Amino acid sequence: MTPPPESLQAQGVTHWSSRRLADWLRRTGKITVSHDSISRLWRKFCLQPHRTEGFKFSTDPMLEAKVGDVVGLYLEPPENAVVVCVDEKSQIQALDRARPVLPMRPGIPGRQTHDYIRHGTTTLFAALEIATGTVTDACYPRHRRGEFLKFLKKVAAAYPGQELHIVGDNYATHKHADVRKWLRRPENQRITLHFVPTSCSWLNLVECFSSVITRQAIRRGTFTSVKELIAAIGAFIDSWNDHPRPFAWAKDADEVLAKIERAKTKTNALTHH
């Protein structure tokens, strides 16, 4: 018989393997059972103690309207208009390993020391055009309203005279009075900001590009200065723009909202079980 959760938690252990659980059951005299039997029982009931998943649901009162607005831009953008998604990737560290990275060899993976030297940070601002996959970028030391407004001006200059729809998250600088004032200028009436619901950053397609550049150009890189880091980011994006790949959005707003509701219902049921 499996001990109740409170008995397990009392042991101060937060991750139980089948071997650890079998040993604890034997030592406490509750039952003698092999770890293989425990594993079979877990498989029978589709239990995976080694896995955890996080969840966070939006409490945005405008959830449905914002989902419909953003997804509508993805699936049916206005005629003769450009839709871009913007985001900041802050605190990108220029990390240099204490010793040179050893390249991989047959049968031996690449090796690097755990020790590293920090040479500072930068913030990448990126605007992904959903139709083509091209990226407009800039790196700034900070990500305040001044930097965001400067980047907006760069994005606007990249699409002169065109109707421009910009999708972003709910970061306070995106809604600052200085930004709203700039958008009210006659020459900027062609530009409209759209915001994804709170806690729905996954709805912003530029997050896909952010994941790609993190995996392929930043995470395993070594940089002796912020300048070198920025140059590497710029080189990657230049190469990306030579052969851009758009990220296709497939689900309509009703499907997205239905999936969110199913997840809420399932989680609430588990919480009150």
Per domain, the residue ranges of the chain are: 5-44, 63-253
Residue 246 has pLDDT above 70, yes or no: yes
Residue 180 has pLDDT above 90, yes or no: yes
Higher local confidence (pLDDT), 67 or 273: 67
**Token pair for 115:** 């020790």
Is residue 206 within 8 A of residue 179, CB to CB? The reply is no
- When pLDDT is cut at 50, 70 and 90, the band that residue 264 belongs to is confident
Region 152-173 average pLDDT: 94
Q: What is the pLDDT of residue 8?
A: 54
Residue 33 has pLDDT above 90, yes or no: no
Q: How far apart are CA 269 and CA 267, in angstroms?
A: 5
Q: What is the pLDDT of residue 189?
A: 94
Q: What is the pLDDT of residue 9?
A: 52
Residue 149 has pLDDT above 90, yes or no: yes
Q: How far apart are CA 3 and CA 118, in angstroms?
A: 47
Residue 10 has pLDDT above 80, yes or no: no
Residue 265 has pLDDT above 70, yes or no: yes
Q: What is the pLDDT of residue 109?
A: 84
Q: Is 17 buried (19+), middle (13-18) or exposed (0-12) by CB count in 10 A?
A: middle
Region 13-22 average pLDDT: 84
- When pLDDT is cut at 50, 70 and 90, the band that residue 272 belongs to is low
Higher local confidence (pLDDT), 142 or 6: 142
Q: What is the pLDDT of residue 226?
A: 95
Region 132-151 average pLDDT: 95
Higher local confidence (pLDDT), 126 or 267: 126
Q: How far apart are CA 40 and CA 21, in angstroms?
A: 13
Q: What is the pLDDT of residue 25?
A: 86
- When pLDDT is cut at 50, 70 and 90, the band that residue 55 belongs to is low
Give how far Cα 182 sits from Cα of 139, 153, 163, 188, 227, Å.
21, 9, 16, 7, 30
Residue 6 has pLDDT above 80, yes or no: no
Q: What is the pLDDT of residue 7?
A: 57
Residue 145 has pLDDT above 50, yes or no: yes
Query: Residue 240, Cβ neighbours under 10 Å: how many?
Result: 19
**63-253 adopts what CATH topology?**
Nucleotidyltransferase; domain 5 (3.30.420)
Q: How far apart are CA 238 and CA 244, in angstroms?
A: 10
Sheet holding 191-195, edge to edge: 135-140, 116-129, 81-97, 163-168, 191-195
Main-chain dihedrals φ then ψ at residue 96, nearest 5 degrees: -120, 130
Determine what percent of the chain falls in helix, strand and coil, rounding each to the nearest 5: 45, 20, 40
Query: Residue 171, Cβ neighbours under 10 Å: how many?
Result: 16
Q: Is 156 buried (19+), middle (13-18) or exposed (0-12) by CB count in 10 A?
A: buried
